[in-house]
Structure 1
Amino acid sequence: MHTVTRSTQVSYRIPDVFTSFPNLIAAESTRHGGVSPAPFNSLNLGINTSDDSVNVDENRRRFFDAIGAATFRFASSHQIHGTDILYTVEPGRFDGYDALITNQPGLLIGVTVADCVPILIYDQANQAVAAIHAGWRGTVGGIVNKTLTYMQQRFGTLADHCYAYVGTCIDDCSFEVGPEVADQFGSSFRRDDLRSGKSLIDLKAANKQPLLDFGIPAAQIGISSFSTVLHNKDYFSYRVEQGQTGRMLAVIGIKF
């Protein structure tokens, strides 16, 4: 379940797993409340689209203001569906990373998605956070485990002190793939159709499992109940909209 919040027409969701931490900002945008025209209507927060950059800048301003992060600096990366992780204490637009971690107060980190899985992690003891972009390649490449391991090395992160959110993405009844992709997933994360030779992949479950394997208690892991495909009126879906669509942001940061 999620807390739904609207401010100046900007619609976003705060994961319930994070709502008891007043020093934390964590949110996931929807597609509502921006200025972008179709096919990016309306709260397109993705830089790497053909939407006018003026629109994206205004949309981001509105979103950051609505979630209470107007004074925060922001760090993100051009994502490449890999497993490289960036530790940063500075804002900026980096390149080649699909996860960011920080323990710098006042610095918001985030990932853009439009079917892939956003994962947000909060280490309460060490006041550190992570934002992860996991497509199917990042998922099978172990980006969640690699991020947690890096947090452990950098901050001393322990599982019992972590709270995590597996965000809105393509659902397990919509992500149909061929055997070249399906064979890289374990049987518990795929349903095979022998007649078509296709399989359906559960990306949420596949990214929850490494959180559990690291030792994070199940009660400290939230899972989005929404789907970019089934709830396409509220979320952008690259697959449904055949690439001509906007992007959501999933962000997290420690307050000053």
Structure 2
Amino acid sequence: MIVSNASRLHITPAIFYPFPGLIAAESTRHGGVSPVPFASLNLGINTTDGPSNVNENRRRFFETIEASTNQFASSHQVHGTDVLHATEAGRFDGYDALITDKPGLLIGVTVADCVPILIYDHEHKAVAAIHAGWRGTVGGIVTKTLDRMKQQFGTSAEHCYAYVGTCIDECSFEVGPEVAEQFESELKRVDAETGKGYIDLKRANTKQLTAFGIPFAQIGVSPFSTVLHNTDFFSYRAEQGQTGRMLAVIGLKS
């Protein structure tokens, strides 16, 4: 469990420790200025939190990772599978994954239960940030992003390191039969007593990474859950939609 204190604004995935030229982080909910129900490091632009709060929170977050908001590219996410090759900072629309090989440019995705996936191709110095809810997972957004990296940068699996970030856990992600039927049997569980279905999004997206050929030893998976560790992370489901958003970002230092 994370120690809840104002200094812990983000987590650096251990899988990326060997790469000093890389910035990679996912935020927590600590250390911001937003009031309840967005307490406190709400980084989500599309919330009803005050814009001045979100701007200050973003300034604090980027400062802790030694970056700034004016070198950040993101998108209004639509739970789709489109991938943006980002070449400049800015706020785009309609993409749930971004890729870049431009030094000094950070890319990232906003989450509050969905899975953030960060990828680093250390051979070609290229990165990806992916937002995968159940729709994006079923649509193969991780596979499509890696295919786009291969096309754009020459990325190959053996040179990739990946992080499957903090999201809703399998024991909390109850879904209806119309959703459960879209997942392979190994990725879902039906409670024998209640008949309710549960989906493992971390495992589903990890499977797409390994299917591309990334060695399992080069994949890190967050041990945290937005629901079980709700005091440290925002959860849209646990907080019934009235909550903040986290960022997962990655990029090459200038």
Contact 1:111 1:251 in 2 (8 A): yes
Q: Separation in 2 of the partners of 1:155 and 1:249?
A: 25
The structure richer in strand per residue is 1
- Among candidates 14, 22, 25, match of residue 23 of structure 2: 25
Contact 1:6 1:12 in 2 (8 A): no
Contact 2:70 2:89 in 1 (8 A): no
Please, which moves more after superposition, 69-78 or 25-34?
Answer: 69-78
**What residue number does 1:178 align with?**
176
Q: Structure 1 174/6 Cα, relative in aligned 2: closer, same or farther at 3 Å?
A: closer
**What residue number does 2:93 align with?**
95
Contact 2:42 2:245 in 1 (8 A): yes
- Among candidates 211, 234, 237, match of residue 236 of structure 1: 234
Q: Structure 1 66/5 Cα, relative in aligned 2: closer, same or farther at 3 Å?
A: farther
Kindly state the Cα deviation for residue 11 of structure 1 after the two structures are TM-superposed. 2.0
Q: Structure 1 14/206 Cα, relative in aligned 2: closer, same or farther at 3 Å?
A: same
**What residue number does 1:216 align with?**
214
**Residues 173-192 of structure 1: CA deviation (Å, up to 9, x unaligned):** 00001100000000111001
SS at match of 1:225: coil
Q: Which runs of 4+ in 1 moved over 4 A?
A: 4-8
Q: Separation in 2 of the partners of 1:73 and 1:7?
A: 27
- Among candidates 91, 96, 105, match of residue 103 of structure 2: 105
Kindly state the Cα deviation for residue 198 of structure 1 after the two structures are TM-superposed. 1.7
SS at match of 1:137: helix
Q: Structure 1 84/71 Cα, relative in aligned 2: closer, same or farther at 3 Å?
A: closer
**What residue number does 1:36 align with?**
34
**What residue number does 2:60 align with?**
62
Kindly state the Cα deviation for residue 147 of structure 1 after the two structures are TM-superposed. 0.2
Kindly state the Cα deviation for residue 6 of structure 1 after the two structures are TM-superposed. 10
Kindly state the Cα deviation for residue 9 of structure 1 after the two structures are TM-superposed. 2.7
Q: Separation in 2 of the partners of 1:143 and 1:119?
A: 10
Kindly state the Cα deviation for residue 197 of structure 1 after the two structures are TM-superposed. 3.3
Q: TM-score, normalised by structure 2?
A: 0.97
Contact 1:79 1:97 in 2 (8 A): yes
Q: TM-score, normalised by structure 1?
A: 0.96
Q: Structure 1 149/193 Cα, relative in aligned 2: closer, same or farther at 3 Å?
A: same
Contact 1:10 1:62 in 2 (8 A): no
Q: Separation in 2 of the partners of 1:130 and 1:200?
A: 28
Structure 1 residues 159-178: aligned runs within 5 Å: 159-178=157-176
Q: Separation in 2 of the partners of 1:113 and 1:249?
A: 6
Contact 2:44 2:54 in 1 (8 A): yes
Contact 2:23 2:252 in 1 (8 A): yes
Q: State, as a whole percentage, how many aligned pairs show the same letter.
A: 70
The answer for unaligned runs of 5 or more in structure 1 is none
SS at match of 2:9: strand
Q: Separation in 2 of the partners of 1:71 and 1:37?
A: 22
Contact 1:169 1:227 in 2 (8 A): yes
Contact 1:5 1:11 in 2 (8 A): no
**What residue number does 1:144 align with?**
142
- Among candidates 126, 129, 132, match of residue 130 of structure 2: 132
RMSD: 1.7
Aligned length: 254
**What residue number does 1:249 align with?**
247
Structure 1 residues 71-86: aligned runs within 5 Å: 73-86=71-84
- Among candidates 116, 120, 123, match of residue 122 of structure 1: 120
